[in-house]
Structures are given as structure tokens and as C-alpha cells.
Amino acid sequence: MTRVAVVFADGCEEVEGLSTVDVLRRLNIDCDMVGLDKKVIHGDHNILITCDKVVDDSLLDYDLVAFPGGRIGAENLRDNQKLAELMVKRHNDGKWDAAMCAAPIALSRYGVLKDTNYTCYPGFEDTIKQECPTGKFSTAITVTDPKQKVITSRGPATAWAYAYAIAQALGHDTSQLKKNMLYNYLADNIQDSL
């Protein structure tokens, strides 16, 4: 069975993390909500998030570990030494990792974005380029780099695209769920509402 961990840190962008968990669970993918240093996380918009567990060595056992963004949350992920060590080991073992919005700054600090195609929230690419100058930035909504096994995305409005990209990278068909959640309808009609 496919297993995913979404790591939440204080100051995270709640919609990015919870959208990912929601989509993956709708696809019957085993998805744990993991608190960086405690089970109850304070999101950036004063939403309390109750996680299933706290970061520990079991993070090495997941098929994919995903980070939501939010500047403060991303900085907390970036600066946590235990998480950094686990993520470097995961990357060296060829496991999938994902980060969206500001959170790719954590992957860049760990060295995971070296030689990797990625995207991030506008403006954070400057920081990432300083730490991983061999990475290649894109303005695409989501970027999946199958060689480096890294998935990245832009920001809150791209959370569903990010979640679907994660599921697809892990071999799951998202076509029916996209239809059921009206994702295709949204994608087809977004210009009409602007």
C-alpha cells in the first residue's frame, strides 16, 4: 500500500497541507498528518491542526513526504535539524519528496533541489538559486522531476494540482476524482470567471 506523510509546522499554509491530505485520502492512499515537533500545529491563519504523529525515524518508511508552504512554516521545516537529516537520507535512498509554495526553501537547504527542476512561490526562487544554483526554476503550476523524485508547486491556489501530481507520481489514476471534485470544470472555466 502506498504511504504518504504530510509534515505540518507552526506557521504553515493550512489549505496547502489539508488539501493534499484530503485528495490523497479520497484516493484511498494511506496519508498521515505529521507534526514537526508536536501533534497540535498552529497554522498561519489561526487554524489548529491536529496531527496523527510527530516527526520521527518512521519518515524514512513513507513512499513520499510532502511539505505545505507558508513562509513561517517553511522556515520551521528548513531549520529543523532532525527533519533535515531524515530528508537527506530519504533523497539519497531515492524516495519521493514534495514541497509547495515557500517550502522548497527547505528542500534547497537540505541540498535536495541540486540538479532538480522545480517551482515555488514567486520570489523564493532567488533564495533557492543561492543554495542550489544547479536547480532549474519553472513558472509551471506544478513541476514533477522524475529523475530526482521531487514534486513542487506554486502556492495556495495550486494545492489540488499539487495533490494530484503527488498521487500520479505514485502511480494512482486521478481522472475520476478530478471529475468528481469538479477540478476539470474549474480548469476549463477559470478564464470565464476572471
pLDDT for 192 equals: 62
- Residue 191: is its pLDDT beyond 80? no
Cross-strand bridge partners of residue 96: 64
Mean pLDDT in residue range 13-25: 98
- DSSP E strands in 88-180: the ranges are 96-100, 117-118, 136-137, 142-145, 150-153
Q: Which amino acid is at 38?
A: K
The fold of 3-193 is Rossmann fold (3.40.50)
The domains of the chain are located at 3-193
Confidence tier at 37 by pLDDT (50, 70, 90): very high
pLDDT in tens, 47-89: 999 999 999 999 999 999 999 999 999 999 999 999 999 999 9
- Residue 194: is its pLDDT beyond 60? no
Antiparallel, parallel or unpaired: β 142-145 and 150-153:
antiparallel
Q: Residue 41 phi/psi, 5° resolution? A: -110, 140
Cross-strand bridge partners of residue 150: 97, 145
* Pairwise CA distance, residues 48 & 41, whole Å: 6
- Contact predicate 21/6, CB 8 Å: yes
Share of the chain above pLDDT 70, in %: 97
Return the number of other C-beta atoms located less than 10 Å from residue 81's C-beta: 7
Cross-strand bridge partners of residue 98: 66, 151
Q: Which amino acid is at 193?
A: S
Q: Residue 115 phi/psi, 5° resolution? A: 60, 30
What predicted TM-score, i.e. pTM, was given to this entire model?
A: 0.96
- Residue 22: is its pLDDT beyond 80? yes
Compute the mean pLDDT over every residue in the chain, rounded to the nearest whole number.
Answer: 96
pLDDT in tens, 134-186: 999 999 999 999 999 999 999 999 999 999 999 999 999 999 999 999 998 88
Share of the chain above pLDDT 90, in %: 94
Cross-strand bridge partners of residue 144: 151
